[in-house]
A = this chain, B = another copy of it.
Amino acid sequence: MSPASRYTYLGPEGTFTEAALRTLPEAATRELVPMVSVQAALDAVRCGEAAAALVPIENSMEGGITATLDELAAGSPLMIYREVLLRIAFALLVRPGTGFGDVKTVTGHPAAQVQVRRWLSAHLPEAAWESAASNADGARLVAEGRYDAAFAGEFAAPTYGLEPLATEIHDAANAETRFVLVGRPARPVAPTGADKTSAVFWLGDDHPGALLELLQEYAVRGVNLIRIESRPTGEGIGRYCFSVDCEGHITERRVGEALMGLKRICPQVRFLGSYPRADEVPPQQRKGTTDKEFTAAADWLGRALDGRV
């Protein structure tokens, strides 16, 4: 297939990222290519070898995926076009014939360890944990006989010839991970009425109230924040940029005006896209912030400029 129909993702095969990618209808007609890292998945898009990449950006246990946040903030610009929410539950994958009593060593990604700790101490208190580069990689190592069991998505079992010894494993019942589909910059997809807009802002001379001012640019236009994350700029302790998701679409007036306000007060701004919310929650819009009200106010100003008050 051509690069135009190729999607990369954070691999290897059998990861939750692959499972998330397969929830997209278009995935059925794309070539899905696992990559060794978020950076590699995104670089393939940047250099034109793939049309888009699906990468995790946030999970409910660990917070923002810093590799993704930092890759999107730096390098040549990319844009988010879709998001996918995936509920996370693990299976304990073993070679056929393995029973609970046989499991002396378990493996998985370090992030998985955090999420199954209580289950593990309740069900396999004696098992020794060894970290793997990814959950899927852990499954491969079990298949190769290096460890006895791996925590991974149940969907990874067939890929590696394993069987689930237990499923629906998760210390926190409502754990989920958010993934984003990233492509090269282009016109954002049309607003759906329940959209999200992502951007990164660098604060300037680092004066005390700078973050407050940033938030007020949103607040005064009635644009609600969904997520705000500080990330170091690499210029020393205490120097940050802010990765922000807000309600609404860049084509909506209140969002556009807030972004312009931020563009004016921040030395650097990077727009990361407007796209449909996976949870389809419509915005809670304060009086005076609809497009209709923006247009009416602009009409009024136009009349005032002409002296027709």
State the Cβ distance, A110 to closest chain B Cβ, in Å.
Answer: 10
Is A109 located at the chain interface by the 8 A CB criterion?
Answer: no
Q: Is the CB of B259 within 8 A of A301?
A: yes
State the Cβ distance, A36 to closest chain B Cβ, in Å.
Answer: 11
Is A271 located at the chain interface by the 8 A CB criterion?
Answer: yes
Q: Is the CB of B220 within 8 A of A216?
A: yes
Of B227, B232, B257, B263, which one neighbours A63 at CB under 8 angstroms? B232
Is A118 located at the chain interface by the 8 A CB criterion?
Answer: no
Is A85 located at the chain interface by the 8 A CB criterion?
Answer: yes
Of B186, B212, B228, B288, which one neighbours A265 at CB under 8 angstroms? B288
Instruction: Provide the residues of chain B in CB contact with A63, threshold 8 Å.
Output: 66, 230-232, 240
Interface size bracket, A side = 35 or more
Of B64, B217, B239, which one neighbours A60 at CB under 8 angstroms? B239
State the Cβ distance, A106 to closest chain B Cβ, in Å.
Answer: 17
Chain A 264-285 per-residue mask, 1 if CB under 8 angstroms from chain B, else 0: 1100011100000000000010
Q: Is the interface of A mostly helix, strand, loop or mixed?
A: mixed
Instruction: Provide the residues of chain B in CB contact with A296, threshold 8 Å.
Output: 263-264
Q: Is the CB of A215 within 8 A of B215?
A: yes
Q: Is the CB of A305 within 8 A of B187?
A: yes
Q: Is the CB of B77 within 8 A of A309?
A: yes
The answer to whether residues A237 and B85 also contact, given A215-B211, A289-B264 and a CB cut-off of 8 A, is yes
The answer to whether residues A257 and B259 also contact, given A174-B235, A225-B211, A230-B63 and a CB cut-off of 8 A, is no
Instruction: Provide the residues of chain B in CB contact with A43, threshold 8 Å.
Output: none
Instruction: Provide the residues of chain B in CB contact with A256, threshold 8 Å.
Output: 301, 305
Q: Is the CB of B188 within 8 A of A236?
A: no
Copies of the protein in its oligomer: 4
The answer to whether residues A208 and B224 also contact, given A66-B63, A187-B305, A297-B263 and a CB cut-off of 8 A, is yes
Interfacial residues of chain A within 195-219, with CB under 8 A of chain B in the complex: 208-209, 211-213, 215-217, 219
Of B212, B225, B230, B259, which one neighbours A216 at CB under 8 angstroms? B212
How many angstroms from the CA of A131 to the CA of B250 in the assembled complex?
41
Give A228's nearest chain B residue, CB to CB: B230
The answer to whether residues A188 and B307 also contact, given A208-B225, A284-B208 and a CB cut-off of 8 A, is yes
How many angstroms from the CA of A191 to the CA of B19 in the assembled complex?
53
Residue in A131, A300, A305, A307 whose Cβ sees the most chain B Cβ within 10 Å = A307
Is A185 located at the chain interface by the 8 A CB criterion?
Answer: yes
Is A142 located at the chain interface by the 8 A CB criterion?
Answer: no
Interfacial residues of chain A within 54-95, with CB under 8 A of chain B in the complex: 58-64, 66, 77, 79, 85
Instruction: Provide the residues of chain B in CB contact with A297, threshold 8 Å.
Output: 260-261, 263-264
